[in-house]
Structure 1
């Protein structure tokens, strides 16, 4: 679905990815997304958040959020819809910060309404990594584990499978170690966007750092599963 070479060149990137969120430049945090904050080098995707002023505020979820950063987000051109008996494997290597006020993530979210949402890897400034499945805003299965050596790349793999013709079985791995199995209720047949983003502040706390923040991804691959 997406080859591990998609970050090797601009033409490879353009074949599989778009800039920003599928819905625009803003989402649930203090960073506004910009193509200028996305770069490719040596097969590595780099998203960089920098402190800025004069970006104003946004209103989301009934809250007014001040924009303090410009940052980077990309989303896959392909949408991912698990059919009966099928599934996907999402794999990549990530170097992610765990500093307060930084919020990198690798996630799936609904194309039509919400949920489903699967956070295949999320770092919210706590020194931990989170693996989450949202069935509703209040029915959430979340697993937080310690995140070793943030200055190193770590392999993340998520296997998503048809569980019973209606629900999805979602299995999370880090560095080839099984972390958690969760279930998405009624997720089958619902298309999802794939997003890699470096949001700031919001759920990761504030204030965020004054210095630039970097989120790097390499060897990302998506394969369809057909038994």
Structure 2
């Protein structure tokens, strides 16, 4: 989200390089075995010495380009290179597609080539060039076609966005390029520190070691985010005619949002909607430095709802790590197919960088239906990289600019709408939370 004090998220105490050196020797073995340690030889070498300036700086994004490709007559496949201009500090997903050529003689889909719509994934430490395969039906000279990006690469910058694929007798065919590592599988490496159950999940106004707080450290509203909902507490507002914002059922914790029958006031502003939040800022058992958070939930689908599970530094905002975020106030957002992961860097309530990705996880990874059933969203925070997972499969990774920080979790469903707010469900149903500390 963007943290407390505007969902915006502190000052790191060490640089990443201070923590990396002892683990470099184990890097290759860890990558090969899908260990929870996410080092890769190229990624470690490229960013171990980067000056993150106490969590206020981030390496420059890589630029992705489509390169020209050549194949010989009689070939059944053409290999088209997708290239980065530098090692990437985070996962880049480039969606590519084919397009007919131009001119009197041109390659035509279904005649000369089989059209494609694919994703090319670069993870930190991967080779800088990967190829995408295009099946060839009838390769003849001058029947050129185009491979292009669908849009700017997710997680990277846009370079050359298209290139021709040519059939040529005389030129050597473009070779296939080595693929990078396989996605990691989520396996907690830390010790289980806290797990959600009827007995362990408690909440109160301020929160304490045995209870989450029903408000953010800065209060019950986020006007800096243009939110229109007030974060409710069923006990504090028991005489206001509200529906219970929190209740534990056999399926798990229901985090309920609503349109209020009567506006409620906070800090001189009246709110027409009820949001809901649980924050661990006063709950030390929920806080870790390095380790893993795993959150299992079913998402709302109501327009104007803004569900999230995120982490804030115990020293203040920024930094922030968004494990899951759903932008239901955007008309284009599809709760069943899209997810978002973001890092917010900076210090003293001043964000200096924002690095993340909006992703169609259904298209890229075959993972979707987030409003129709329970899915797990996890993050592994290590000195070198932060890695995100959905249903146990790695979906994103970014170099960790926040070495030495400690974190507390927040889960909420904000409201950002002025509409009727009655379509579908505005509730997030949380089935499980596990917190592991390394």
Tell me if structure 2 keeps the 8 A contact 1:8–1:43. no
Tell me if structure 2 keeps the 8 A contact 1:102–1:208. no
- Which structure has the larger Rg? 2
Residue 34 of structure 1, aligned match among 232, 256, 281: 232
Residue 188 of structure 1, aligned match among 384, 400, 403: 403
Higher percent of residues as strand: 1
Aligned counterpart, 1:62:
none
TM-score scaled by structure 2? 0.43
Tell me if structure 2 keeps the 8 A contact 1:97–1:151. no
Whether 2:311 is the aligned partner of 1:108: answer yes
Distance between the aligned counterparts of 1:162 and 1:124, measured in 2? 29
Aligned counterpart, 1:44:
252
What is the 5 A alignment of 1:148-167? 148-149=368-369, 150-163=371-384
Taking structure 1 as reference, are residues 97 and 111 closer, same or farther at Cα in structure 2, changes over 3 Å only?
Answer: same
Tell me if structure 2 keeps the 8 A contact 1:106–1:196. yes
Tell me the SS of whatever aligns to 1:209. Answer: coil
Distance between the aligned counterparts of 2:429 and 2:327, measured in 1? 16
Residue 139 of structure 1, aligned match among 350, 353, 356: 353
Query: Structure 1: which 4+ aligned runs deviate by more than 6 Å?
Result: none
Instruction: Provide the alpha-carbon RMSD of the alignment.
Output: 2.4
Tell me if structure 1 keeps the 8 A contact 2:288–2:437. no
Residue 339 of structure 2, aligned match among 114, 129, 132: 129
Distance between the aligned counterparts of 2:256 and 2:420, measured in 1? 14
Whether 2:425 is the aligned partner of 1:210: answer no
Tell me if structure 2 keeps the 8 A contact 1:25–1:34. yes
Tell me if structure 2 keeps the 8 A contact 1:109–1:192. yes
Distance between the aligned counterparts of 1:206 and 1:182, measured in 2? 35
Distance between the aligned counterparts of 1:189 and 1:208, measured in 2? 45
Deviation at 1:56, TM superposition (A): 4.7
Distance between the aligned counterparts of 2:382 and 2:420, measured in 1? 37
Aligned counterpart, 1:166:
none
Taking structure 1 as reference, are residues 111 and 54 closer, same or farther at Cα in structure 2, changes over 3 Å only?
Answer: same
TM-score scaled by structure 1? 0.79
Distance between the aligned counterparts of 2:277 and 2:213, measured in 1? 9
Taking structure 1 as reference, are residues 207 and 110 closer, same or farther at Cα in structure 2, changes over 3 Å only?
Answer: farther
Residue 8 of structure 1, aligned match among 187, 198, 211: 198
Distance between the aligned counterparts of 1:129 and 1:98, measured in 2? 13
Distance between the aligned counterparts of 1:102 and 1:80, measured in 2? 27
Aligned counterpart, 2:273:
69
Deviation at 1:3, TM superposition (A): 3.1
Aligned counterpart, 1:224:
437
Distance between the aligned counterparts of 2:397 and 2:197, measured in 1? 29
Looking at both structures, which has the greater relative contact order when contacts are Cα pairs under 8 Å and sequence separation is at least 6?
Answer: 1
